[in-house]
Structure 1
Amino acid sequence: MPDPLAVVVAGPAGSGKSTLGRAIAARLRAPLVDLDSVTTPLLEALPADALGGHWLTSSHAAAIRSGRYAALRATASDALSTAGSVVVVAPFTAELSGGDDWHALRDALRPAEPVVIRVDGDPAVLASRRHARGAARDVHRPDTPAVAPAIPVIAVDSELTTAQQLARVLPALGLRRPVDRDAAVFAREFDAVLFDLDGTLVDSTASVVRSWRRFAEHFDVSMEALHANHGQPARTLVGHLLPADRHAEALAHVTDLEVADAVGLRPIRGAAEFFASVPPEHRAIVTSGSVPIATARLAAAGYERPAVFVTVDDVVNGKPDPEPFLLAAERLGVDPARCLVVEDAPAGIAAARAAGCAVIALTGTTAEEELAADLVVDGLDAVRLELTPAGALRLVPA
């Protein structure tokens, strides 16, 4: 961990920034300075008529904001100077614009250069969360349109769980999962690498959750069942959730949702470089998604479609059945036992193992204890591939 370190967690009300900020502070063992904790109790204790109305809508709102953030900066500066690190949480709407407010925050956190994490999500979801928590101040909160940050930020989607958010944030802060350099997979040679798509090559987890949440709302079904069956084909999920006479309608609906949401997706950490390092004739993508969904996500994240591209439309039995990986190996003309699979979900890992393949698992989607793989890493930049003189592929620690 760099020293000194200042982490700034920004985002609108209801985005979960305080929860994430607290989790980061706990992992860093750093002081947490939250704007609400520092200033809200005082403001709530003052009579509204003394402030010219509620402090969020008062005629003195600009001055109140200026005072709140001055108190936040001073407290954060003290924490950083004494502890060597600090996590600061607030909406930071003005600061993200990169103007005077941003420079004031940077100056307060010197000599650290702040790492800014911005949590955001579907406005309807954030509004629902605010309503559910019932905080009195939310009744008075002005509806401020979101503005794209003018400073570098680590974007985090509020659809993700706190653990999933941490899996994306901590490596960016230099906190990496150690690579087991004694893992037996490093002693093996492979003829091909078979990649899962979602959560492995493309960071589509939030998009998947958002699409299926909208699906669940539309069809009035349980989100718990969806979470319990991650990594399995949509037709399997639909089969668990709805009667047979609604399957076609449901599959068409969720396909439309997922294709429409495949916008602005990014590659998983290190995945684009790792994928490109595999010779085209030695790689395949094996996904539980349909052709339209998988194609949309590949394009959104900037990948070229490989020659061997196995989707749920190509198989009778999807993951956790081994059929998808066996078909990919067959199309590549290689022995499944000499294939390395890259996965992120228990269903995919089970399918790969049943096919006789070795498996690397990526954190970020599923709890680490559920990843029964030959090697678990927090990004594909933690490993790399070497080509042996005989033309085989060998995995090595980066």
Structure 2
Amino acid sequence: MTSMTPVTCYVYGGGMPSSCQIPDPLAVVVAGPAGSGKSTLGRALAAQLRAALVDLDSVTTPLLDALPSEALGGHWLTSPHAGAIRSGRYAALRATAADVLATAGRVVVVAPFTAELAGGDEWQALRDAFFPTEPVVVHVDGDPAVLASRRAVRGAPRDAHRPETPSVAPAIDVLGVDAELTTTQQLARLLPALGHRRPVDPGAAIFAREFDAVLFDLDGTLVDSTASVVRSWRRFAEHFGVPMQALHANHGQPARTLVSLLLPADRHAEALAHVTDLEVRDAVGLHPIRGADVFFDAVPADRRAIVTSGSVPIATARLGAAGYERPAVFVTVDDVVNGKPDPEPFLLAAERMGVDPSRCLVVEDAPAGIAAARAAGCAVIALTGTTAEEELTADLVVDGLDVLRIEATARGTMRLAPA
């Protein structure tokens, strides 16, 4: 958890002094284009961090909207004075955020910050406003078509006057988050990076067990491909005219299962080919899940396997994009008759490795995979970040594999331990 500084607190009205905790100063900047969901994420972050929220729109837009457009020579976003208006808006934002940080100790600031992301004088002015606290920048971005669709749905009057400006990669260090993810999924990636970790119970029964092999799911477990998966299936849903709700409700199951639920039999082959092409083409710029690459490498090569609901082309593309070496035992949906939540994939992996399934440790992120592993008799670690935590009925739930380590025993087996 984030470090806390103990101080003496007093209760007004005659209460006795007591010890309490005041958090270390924290400034989080949430940046991104219109429609990216940065305001929603900023509000959620502020609630989780117990920080004050300062949003550029809340601070400046009501005043600007009240000014007559004829006095500005047009809407304030497009008037001849737009440059000066921007400078004034951001000066007001910086001053307000600086006051909040100085008095409350924690602040989440939300704005597009387009110029600030490019570095230079605007970025330095923002840093100076928070000095000596160095701001952490969260950058939310996504498919331009999705952002445009969201702006159209929300119908904010200012969006009709907003000039189209293409997204540019930030020139400063940021915590990038995809707008395709839900707010809960975004928080699951950001909070650990901000020092807010899910506690690990050192007395959990799983730490007393020994294992002969570790079986890893792929998507959301080794590779942070959730946004890529959602984006691909959203495009699939748009192409075939099917509801996205059915896709979200069946995460972790094979594509052929989803297709069979959504489309008539005479379109299954076409649909599978289409979604495979979408997912392979989108498998670029992917990264390992927090701590997953180190944990994976720590398991001896002959003791680890990947068990995925993806096909060979999709799984191979994502492994390569995230920089993983393909293990000798690599079970995909193409190898089994019954995919997750059926235990067949994990039973097949254990058989190929020559080990008893009850002596296998499975790392998963989805209810379907957890159910499959449990039915196979395996112990299960579940990772947050894809599915609501209450659905992860595993032996141990963690927010990253960096909180765990694998240890070799004198008997040639492996044990799990807190890092």
Task: Give TM-score, length-normalised by structure 2.
Answer: 0.95
Give the match for residue 125 of structure 1: 146
Structure 2 counterpart of 1:164, from 185, 190, 201: 185
Instruction: Give yes or no for the alignment of 1:182 onto 2:193.
Output: no
Give the residue type in structure 2 aligned to 1:347: A
1:30 maps to what in 2? 51
**Alignment map for 1:140-159 (pairs within 5 Å):** 140-159=161-180
Structure 2 letter corresponding to 1:216: A
Q: 2:410 is paired with a residue of what secondary structure?
A: coil
Report the AA paired with residue 228 of structure 2: S
Instruction: Give the Å deviation of 1:116.
Output: 0.4
Distance 2:264 2:203 in 1: 49
> Is 1:16 the counterpart of 2:37 in the alignment?
yes
1:392 aligns with 2:418: no
Letter in 2 for 1:236: T
* Cα deviation code 1:237-275 (max 9, x no counterpart): 000000000000000000000000000000000000000
Unpaired runs of 5+ residues, structure 1, are none
Equivalent residue number for residue 241 of structure 2: 220
Residue of structure 1 equivalent to 2:399: 378
Which residue, 261, 271, 283 being the options, matches 2:304? 283
Matches within 5 A, 1:334-345: 334-345=355-366
- The root-mean-square deviation of aligned C-alpha atoms, in Å, is 0.5
Q: Percent identity?
A: 84
1:63 to 84, 91, 94: 84
Structure 2 residue matching 1:94: 3-state secondary structure: helix
Q: Which residue of 2 aligns with 1:192?
A: 213
Q: How far does the alpha carbon of each residue in 1:330-389 deviate from its partner, in whole angstroms, 9 at most, with x for none?
A: 111100000000000000000000000000000000000000000000000011000001
Answering whether residue 275 of structure 2 is matched by residue 267 of structure 1, we say no
* 1:52 Cα offset (Å): 1.4
Could you tell me whether the CA contact under 8 Å between 1:226 and 1:237 is conserved in 2?
yes
CA distance in 2, matches of 1:182, 1:345: 24
Residue 85 of structure 1 and its aligned partner are, at CA, apart by 0.7
For the residues of structure 2 that align with 1:334 and 1:42, how far apart are their CA atoms? 69
1:361 pairs, out of 375, 379, 382, with 382
2:251 is matched with which residue: 220, 226, 230? 230
CA contact under 8 A between 1:4 and 1:111: conserved in structure 2?
no
Moved over 3 A (4+): none
Unaligned runs of 5+ in 2: 4-23
Deviation at 1:181, TM superposition (A): 1.3
- Please state if 1:346 is matched with 2:390: no
Q: 1: distance between equivalents of 2:315 and 2:67?
A: 55
Q: 1:313 aligns with which of 334, 350, 358?
A: 334
- In structure 2, what is the equivalent of residue 112 of structure 1? 133
1: CA distance between counterparts of 2:44 and 2:322?
Answer: 28
Residues 310-335 of structure 1 show CA distances to partners (whole Å, capped at 9, x for unaligned) of 00000000000000000000111100
Separation (CA, whole Å) in 1 of partners of 2:412 and 2:67: 74
Report what 2:229 is aligned to: 208
The aligned amino acid for 1:266 is: H
For 1:18, give the aligned amino acid.
S
Q: Secondary structure at the match of 2:114?
A: coil
Question: How much does 1:111 deviate?
Answer: 1.6
1:323 corresponds to which residue? 344
Q: What is the letter of the counterpart of residue 360 of structure 1?
A: I
Partner amino acid, structure 2, of 1:116:
V
Shift of 1:182: 1.3
User: In 1, distance between residues paired with 2:386 and 2:191?
Assistant: 14
2:105 alignment partner in structure 1: 84
Question: Distance between the aligned counterparts of 2:339 and 2:124, measured in 1?
Answer: 53
| Structure 1 residues 16-59: Cα deviation after superposition (integer angstroms, max 9, x where no partner) | 00000000000111110000000000000000011111011110
- Equivalent of 1:303 in 324, 327, 331: 324
- How far, CA to CA, are the matches of 1:129 and 1:58 in structure 2? 25
Q: Is 2:104 the counterpart of 1:94?
A: no
Residue among 155, 160, 181 paired with 1:139 = 160
1:160 & 1:306 partners in 2: Cα distance? 29
Q: How many residues align?
A: 398
Measured in 1, the distance between the counterparts of 2:319 and 2:351 equals: 23
Per the TM alignment, residue 390 of structure 1 is displaced from its structure 2 partner at its CA by: 1.2
SS of corresponding position for 2:362: strand
Letter in structure 2 aligned against 1:373:
A
Could you tell me how far apart the structure 2 residues matched to 1:258 and 1:28 are? 35
Rounded to whole Å, the distance in 1 between the matches of 2:152 and 2:68 is 24
Alignment check: 8 A CA contact 1:385 1:395 kept: yes
Q: In 2, are the aligned partners of 1:288 and 1:311 still within 8 Å (CA)?
A: yes
Code of the residue aligned with 2:155 in structure 1: it is: G
Q: Which residue identity lines up with residue 291 of structure 1 in the other structure?
A: V
Once the two structures are superposed, what CA deviation does each residue of 1:287-325 show, in whole Å capped at 9, x if it has no partner?
000000000000000001100000000000000000000
Distance in 1 of aligned mates of 2:120 and 2:61: 25
CA distance in structure 2 between the aligned counterparts of 1:123 and 1:89, rounded to whole angstroms:
20
